[in-house]
Amino acid sequence: MTEKISTVNPDLDPETWVDQYGDYLYRFALTRIKDPFVAEDLVQETFLAALNGRESFKSRSTFQTWLTGILKYKILDFFRKKNREQAVDDIDAVDETVDGFYHNNGSWKIRPGKWDLNPSKTYEQNEFLNAFFKCLAKLPDRLARIFMHREVEGLDTEELCKAFQISATNSWVMLYRARMHLRRCLELSWFNKVEEENR
Amino acid sequence: MSHWMFNCKKVSHRVSESMDRNLAPHHRLFIRIHLLMCKYCAQFRKQLLFLRETARFIEYPPDDLETSTLLSSEARNRMKQMLRT
């Protein structure tokens, strides 16, 4: 894909999106969701969302990056819906706070286990990524979103405060909680560590 | 109440915070000392770093799939039609 600096922008004609970005987005979705039909649907939803939200596209990112950004949230939503179908109680049961992880004196009650992992090997596995998305989708919505914004899009504190209309301190607390629950969920579902509660 | 550097809850909160902003040098030192003494907080930190690495992976281009993996022509047409109207 060649970058055109100003002048005519071919991205203004939505119909051309399919040929230009369709395959890329499809592969992106398929890498993360194995089902070709679901992947197709998500690409279609992405285009639809892009069509409706064209004004919010800022040329500081490429159009492909922008579309991919939308797709990532569609993927997250997909896992969220799937979780909801599987276990309704489970989702609502996630307590946003982290107090339960510690004793009153601040020592660990649910201790972080040792994750024996070789990152480059672990995250190459699709099943692992699957588990990661599922756990992400189990988080309360705003925690999942702030985590995505911070760790996937790489927004900084100032940008997060603007996006969520919160204070800096608040953003750090939310990220802390998101990370805490995410790591715990992965520990249970993937690393399958022995419970060490209540020693 | 003893100093926060002996409190896992407070230290782990700051470990997370250190991934989002620059902490004061002496705070970083307190954390580092605590991590040397406490394997659980050290593991907690490793896990957070791993989460970050994994999240970045989501961003990677889908280059491990064959470039011959294409949208079906049905899907292609359906989408074009949708975008046309």
Q: What letter does residue A54 receive in the DSSP assignment?
A: G
A105 CB neighbours in chain B (<8 A) are 7
Put simply, the answer to whether A119 touches B64 (Cβ < 8 Å) is: no
Element (H, E) at B21: none
Is B26 a residue whose pLDDT tops 90?
Answer: yes
Closest in A32, A47, A157 to B79, CB measured:
A47
Size of interface A-B (CB pairs under 8 A): 138
**Measured between CA atoms, how close is B75 to chain A, in angstroms?**
7
Q: Residue A84: pLDDT band by 50, 70, 90 thresholds?
A: low
Residue A160 CA: distances (Å) to CA of A1, A30, A72, A121, B38? 31, 29, 18, 31, 31
pLDDT on residue A165 = 92
Residue with the larger pLDDT of the pair A74 and A120: A74
Tokens read off for B52: 């970050």
Q: Tell me the pLDDT tens digit for each residue of B64-83.
A: 566 678 899 999 999 999 99
Put simply, the answer to whether A111 touches B16 (Cβ < 8 Å) is: no
Task: Scan for tokens 């489970």, then name that residue.
Answer: A90
Q: Tell me the pLDDT tens digit for each residue of A38-81.
A: 999 999 999 999 999 888 887 767 898 889 889 988 888 887 77
Q: Residue A93: pLDDT band by 50, 70, 90 thresholds?
A: low
Q: What is the mean pLDDT of chain B?
A: 89
**Measured between CA atoms, how close is A28 to chain B, in angstroms?**
5
- By the 8 A CB rule, do A94 and A140 touch? yes
Tokens read off for A99: 């107090």
Spatial separation of the C-alpha atoms in residues B68 and B71, rounded to whole Å: 10
**Measured between CA atoms, how close is B4 to chain A, in angstroms?**
9
Spatial separation of the C-alpha atoms in residues A168 and A60, rounded to whole Å: 25
Spatial separation of the C-alpha atoms in residues A70 and A42, rounded to whole Å: 10
Put simply, the answer to whether A44 touches B10 (Cβ < 8 Å) is: no
Put simply, the answer to whether B71 touches A180 (Cβ < 8 Å) is: no
Put simply, the answer to whether B50 touches A117 (Cβ < 8 Å) is: yes
Q: What letter does residue A108 receive in the DSSP assignment?
A: B
pLDDT on residue B60 = 64
B52 CB neighbours in chain A (<8 A) are 151
Q: Tell me the pLDDT tens digit for each residue of A148-161.
A: 889 987 889 999 99
Q: Residue A192: pLDDT band by 50, 70, 90 thresholds?
A: low
**Measured between CA atoms, how close is B11 to chain A, in angstroms?**
9
Spatial separation of the C-alpha atoms in residues A132 and B76, rounded to whole Å: 30
User: Mean per-residue pLDDT for A15-30?
Assistant: 91
Identify which of B61, B51, B57, B70 has the alpha carbon closest to the alpha carbon of residue A143.
B51
- Give B 22-61 residues with CB within 8 A of chain A: 40-41, 43-44, 46-48, 50-59, 61
